[in-house]
């Protein structure tokens, strides 16, 4: 009898561990995958990190984060960009952005537009023209040759939003 009890206890412990692991996995997957500003899914190759009023926030693309600065009047400081072709993080000071190419990872599909929204929202897309980040000027230039758009250092692109 004692052995049977031991076995059932072991089974209970194992079951609890499995449940705990499943719970932990589910919880840890809840990293921000939606843009802080527009709630669009964040693509791994355009993820932009910024400090908004001292809080770390994730944005779908540099254009969206910079628009936040423009619209909300909040202090938004971009702290990290993602290189489009390598997916590696880039410090803003080292980033080159391609503005207005034919690639826009955030492009809104019509069905995503809520019917209750004002018509004005349909005309304005905070993620357009797109800004695509690179950690290397030559690769940014090559991308612009293929997809259009102009290459500028991050600081210039950011300044354009505060004008």
Binding site for Zn ion (CB under 5 A): 35, 37-38, 60, 64
Residue 90: beta bridge partners?
A: 81
| Minimum distance, C-beta of residue 96 to Zn ion, in the bound complex (Å) | 21
Question: Residue 4 class from Cβ within 10 Å (0-12 exposed, 13-18 middle, 19+ buried)?
Answer: exposed
Is 125 within 8 Å of 96 (Cβ atoms)? no
Nearest to Zn ion of 37, 157 (CB atom): 37
| Minimum distance, C-beta of residue 86 to Zn ion, in the bound complex (Å) | 21
Nearest to Zn ion of 125, 136 (CB atom): 125
Is 11 within 8 Å of 4 (Cβ atoms)? no
**CA dist., res. 21 & res. 155, Å (int):** 44
Nearest to Zn ion of 23, 41 (CB atom): 41
Tokens of 22: 């499943």
| Minimum distance, C-beta of residue 108 to Zn ion, in the bound complex (Å) | 10
CA 90 from centre of chain: 13
| Minimum distance, C-beta of residue 9 to Zn ion, in the bound complex (Å) | 51
Nearest to Zn ion of 35, 66 (CB atom): 35
């Amino acid at each position: 009898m004692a052995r049977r009890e031991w076995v059932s206890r072991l089974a209970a412990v194992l079951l609890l561990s499995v449940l705990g692991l499943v719970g932990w996995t589910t919880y840890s997957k809840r990293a921000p995958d939606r843009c802080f500003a527009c709630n669009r899914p964040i693509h791994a190759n355009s993820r932009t990190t910024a400090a908004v009023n001292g809080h770390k926030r994730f944005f779908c693309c540099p254009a969206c984060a910079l628009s936040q600065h423009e619209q909300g009047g909040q202090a938004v400081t971009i702290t990290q960009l993602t290189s489009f072709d390598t997916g590696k993080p880039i410090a803003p000071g080292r980033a080159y952005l391609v503005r207005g190419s034919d690639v826009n990872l955030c492009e809104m599909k019509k069905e995503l537009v809520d019917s209750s929204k004002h018509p004005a929202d349909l005309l304005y897309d905070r993620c357009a023209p797109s800004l695509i980040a690179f950690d290397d000027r030559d690769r940014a230039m090559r991308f612009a040759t293929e997809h259009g758009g102009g290459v500028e250092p991050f600081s210039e692109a950011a300044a354009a939003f505060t004008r």
